[in-house]
Amino acid sequence: MADATLLSGDLKLAGRLDSRFFQLLAAIDGTGSINRAARTAGYSYKGAWLLLETAANLANEPLLESATGGKGGGGTRLTRASHDLLAAWRELESAHRDFLRTQEAMLVQQPALAGLLRRISMKTTARNQFAGTVCAVEWGPVTTQVAIAISSGQEIVATMTSAAAKRLQLEVGKEAIALIKSSAVVLVTDFAGYALSARNQFAGTISRLERGAVTSIAVLTLPGGTSLSASVTNDAVDALALKVGQPATAVFKAYAVMLAVAMP
């Protein structure tokens, strides 16, 4: 099994010596230069020295020693205490990875929990993410329409190329995550007798307004408790007099919906 992906944990020694500190020690050991090692480990030269001096004070013995001229030239090298510390870290780090892999293997034996954690662990800029199950697939020669049933009882419809649907191996009963950017969601407070062509239309109540410098995020709570966010210009918020507690309908096109599925 590869390194754990459902679990993570920060390993530290003495509450402050973490992986970056030991990357710094390893880089000093490899380069013989604090300046080069600091760049490798992502520290400033001053920051690297401060950390090393603090660690040396806590260790109560030197962690570095200077090497002067001669055949190998000058530079900085680790003391025996630093080598021992680095070796202990590498052993503990290996044991830590093994522990996480073992615990993840246990989680994998619980499909429902593992599936939940995988869905939560996906990182994306789309503000709206809904886990559900494919409940209908309408194949076409060029485009395919897919309906996703989400936990609150609503269905989200996505349209994509048939090639993409085949690549995702979409079929009824398959778990999927629907992703919709908040900027793709339009809020309607009064249809004035008109009907819209957008396939996805969800009526709810504005439960939160987060006003920014130019745009606001309007959060709509749907029946069943599902939340859906729309990015709205401040001018539109003022023009529509949007406020918490106001009924509204979130509208977005099926083409604005991206689907994510777990691949074998």
The mean pLDDT value for 137-164 works out to 93
Degrees, nearest 5: CA angle 161-162-168: 95
Q: CB neighbours of 93 closer than 8 A, spacing ≥ 6?
A: 11, 19, 22
For residues 101 and 188, state if they share a domain: no
264 is a domain residue: no
Q: Is 87 among the domain residues? A: yes
Contact indicator for 31, 77 with CB cutoff of 8 Å: no
In this structure, the answer to whether residues 78 and 186 fall within a common structural domain is no
Instruction: Tell me the residue range of the domain where 51 lies.
Output: 19-108
C-alpha closest to that of 101 among 5, 192, 17 = 5
| Higher per-residue confidence, 255 vs 66 | 255
Name the one residue in this structure whose structure tokens are 């030991």.
22
Domain count, the chain: 2
Question: Is residue 162 domain-shared with residue 90, that is, in the same domain?
Answer: no
In this predicted structure, the answer to whether residue 218 has a pLDDT above a threshold of 50 is yes
pLDDT at 73 over 60: no
- Domain check: are 238 and 132 in the same one? yes
Same domain as 198, residue 93: no
Q: Is residue 97 helix, strand or coil?
A: helix
Which 8-state DSSP code applies to residue 72?
T
pLDDT tens for each residue of 89-134: 999 988 988 888 887 777 667 666 555 555 555 556 678 888 889 9
Predicted confidence at residue 3, as pLDDT, reads 44
Both 239 and 130 in one domain: the answer is yes
Residue 98, domain CATH: 1.10.10.10
Per-residue confidence band for 170, with pLDDT thresholds at 50, 70 and 90: very high
Same domain, 180 and 230: yes
- 13 domain residue, yes or no: no
Residues 6+ apart with CB under 8 A from 119: 129, 131, 177
pLDDT digits (tens, 9 = 90+) for 10-52: 788 776 788 888 999 999 998 888 888 988 888 888 888 888 8
CA pair distance 264, 206, nearest whole angstrom: 39
Q: CATH number of the domain at 148, please.
A: 2.40.50.100
Global pTM value = 0.58
